[in-house]
Amino acid sequence: MIYSVKPSSFIASLPRLLSCALVGAALTLSAEDRVVMGAGSYSTVLPEGCEGLPEAIYKTADVSGPTVTGQWWSSLVWQKFSSNLFAHPMGMRCTAEGLAVSYPGAVIVASEAAIMGGAVTSQGDFKIGHSEMPQFPTAQCGGYSDWFVTAAFLQGEASLKTSFGHGSPYVYCQYAGGKPMLYFSDAPRVWAGSANNAVLGVTVKGNHYGLFGATGSSWSGLDGKVFTNHTNGKGYFSIALLPDNKPETLACFQRHAYNHVTGTRIEYAVGQGKVTTRYQFKFKAWEGDDTGTLFALYPHQWKYSQDTLTEMTYASVRGAMKVCEGASFETETVIQGVLPMFPVEGVADRARMLGYLQAEALKKPPDFADTYWEGKYLGRLVSLSGIADVIGASDLQAVFINEIKRRLENWFTALVGESAPLFYYNANWGSLVGNRASYGSDKSLNDHHFHYGYFIRAAAEVARVDPAWAEKWSPMVMLLIRDIASPDRADPMFPFIRCFDKYAGHSWASGDANFADGNNQESSSESMNAWYGMILWGEAMGDEAVRDTGIFLYNTERLAVEEYWFDVSGTNFPEDFPQVALGMVWGGKGAFATWFSGDIDCIHGINWLPFTPASIYMGRYPEYVKKNYDRITAKRKGGPDFGTGWGDLVVMFNALSDPQSAAAYIDSHPDCKLEGGNTHAFMYHWIHTFNRLGLNDASVYSDHPFTNVFIKDGRKTYAAYNFDSKPLLVRFSDGTQFEAKGRSLTVFKEE
């Protein structure tokens, strides 16, 4: 079905919404300050040790509901004006004088450290201002939709509302109490139109723009750097970044310039092994009868769309953006299947695996940590549980499952007088914050999907084996899911799919996006881990909305990883960029770096961890894996000896291309050094699954999302997990089909 997502059953009985503490002293949790959710509870006051959020949110009075954070434009609601906003192809910044507009794609340069676009400054190529208000006191969010936002400059009777968004070459403006003013950084060259024309074509700093006054309006100041549009009593205006300065291009943009985009909406359908995504625009025609607009598609969109594209393009740090004309477009991609665990066939030596599992079971559990490191430990336990399950070590699995339960129940319960571990809800911002927090997950709402994804996957593993426990604790798990990716547009507590950029196709990590380079995301793989957890939880609980939202997010972000972090096809990175992967994607650049280390293992590995069965998506292009691995082994500080850095992750990544050499390493180094979220048990299972069954066969997909297909020496092995108690007929795109047994993993080998 198509999801313009309808309310889910978990919304039916909402808890009372209590205001939580903002900036100020933390409070001791009392009975009145906790909300019970199933067997669990959360706090509505700021707990001790947790940094408070600001009280001020820069949005207009008519913008209601939970505040969106973690988007490309989020600095608009956190700041008096904004940091740089990378809409692509344009860049903007809100200033006291109005909206500064630039074209960062005009200059793309590369070095060993980064791919950089042109600067976005407070002056820009020009600023869109207001004749009666040379200085506004602030800019506020005046509304938003799935990939558009309105920056509102308001003071008394004077108002300027500017609307812009991803992919759009237009900025749409509405004025009251004055006229449009354009303040150019350099004197522009007017190459089309004159003072008596409503429409001008201009070039400034080598960039071409169309200026579209209302029909009947005129211009003054064309011999200088400040243009005024005399509106003829009309309150609308728009500008457009043009791909060139041809008269026919200006005429094409003029045709759509008065049909302002007033809303954008994404809808997705999951079925028959594919995700179909539809991107739609809503309009208000101020003049004429035009019904469409012009918009530029990112590579992860135009490569997977059958819509007709024009010949026009823009440059960006994500690669070439191709222009389409209309009111909507559609993309389609196959679903990369995921399994809760790998098959027992990947356990080359059961006795050795038992030894690994027993050693883990005997370790003293660590103390409760912050939300990130607690999550990392939960992730280890989940993988151990799955391995114990497939080898029939039920006693060991019980140890891991019970520890997951103990830890989750502690986090999911806010006790009177307690400060940690627990979750608290901030009603002003509409976000759930875990305490102890880490990496700004409290004061800036950073990284929630990274942290909570581990918790969700852990809860899904318990739900797989103990549905009764899951039913009791489901309301608390759903709070975490709703915080990072609520599938319900009408959710009164949380915004719709908070941190996922619906148009850019990936998530952002910073809650406030308070950087000159816009928002950023380092660990794309931890984002993928969150969507993996949602898929598993949704299936285990019979919640199709959660499951299919997870499938949409996982497979869309997979494309973004392939295009922007890895550039598997070699079409998006500049030719002179010497690296084969990025560590961080920013709005205005791509960086070969991390927040925490310059070690090459970390720069690459932060976009691999945590390795889970769902990490198989990284092996869809084995030839790229080899190129990536070869670069690391040639450059890493420790040389080819994997006893340093994150060598275990390097070996595991190599297994996606050359599992035989990876197997030789783990067999000769059975107790090698590990990254903190890894275990020898899963490293061994991961490597030998590919060594014994073969590489990921990305050419085959299934109508059931819980499948993997491996290929070795031309022979395929199919694996399917069935969460239902009844047998399930699983069909694959190559014509293979077999019956998957109930509540178990079934393996079918090609004859």
C-alpha of 559 from chain center: 11
Distance between CA 624 and CA 640 in Å, rounded?
Answer: 19
Nearest to 481 by CA among 546, 544, 529: 546
Whether 526 is catalytic is yes
* Segments of 75-157 assigned E as strands: 85-86, 91-95, 98-102, 109-110, 114-116, 126-130, 140-144, 148-155
Q: With helix as H, strand as E and coil as C, how does 26-37 read?
A: CCCCCHHHEEEE
* CA distance readout (Å), 60 to 53, 336, 612: 19, 41, 43
Q: Which of 517, 522, 539, 648 is catalytic?
A: 522
Pairing of strands 180-184, 189-192: unpaired
Contacts with 634 (C-beta within 8 Å, 6 or more apart), sequence order: none
Distance between CA 592 and CA 128 in Å, rounded?
Answer: 35
User: What one-letter code names the amino acid at 214?
Assistant: A
Distance between CA 590 and CA 579 in Å, rounded?
Answer: 11
Distance between CA 515 and CA 513 in Å, rounded?
Answer: 6
Distance between CA 148 and CA 501 in Å, rounded?
Answer: 11
CA atoms within 13 A on the CB side of 391: 26
**202, two tokens:** 């201009």
Helix (H) or strand (E) holding 435: strand 431-435
Distance between CA 632 and CA 173 in Å, rounded?
Answer: 49
* CA distance readout (Å), 225 to 106, 123, 135, 146, 218: 21, 12, 18, 35, 16
Q: Which of 33, 146, 442, 447 is catalytic?
A: 447
Contacts with 664 (C-beta within 8 Å, 6 or more apart), sequence order: none
Phi-psi category of 639—alpha, beta or left, where left has phi over 0 and alpha has psi -120 to 50?
A: left
Q: With helix as H, strand as E and coil as C, how does 615-680 read?
A: HHHHHCCHHHHHHHHHHHHHHCCCCCCCCCCCHHHHHHHHCCCCHHHHHHHHHHCCCCCCCCCCCH
DSSP conformation letters of 533-571: HHHHHHHHHT-HHHHHHHHHHHHHHHHHIIIIIS-TTS-
Q: How many other C-beta atoms can be found within 10 angstroms of the C-beta atom of residue 55?
A: 10
Distance between CA 317 and CA 574 in Å, rounded?
Answer: 9
Distance between CA 683 and CA 664 in Å, rounded?
Answer: 13
3-state secondary structure of 356: helix
Q: Which of 403, 461, 501, 526 is catalytic?
A: 526
Whether 522 is catalytic is yes
Alpha-carbon dihedral angle through residues 221, 223, 227, 228, given to the nearest 10 degrees: 20
Q: Which residues are catalytic?
A: 447, 522, 526
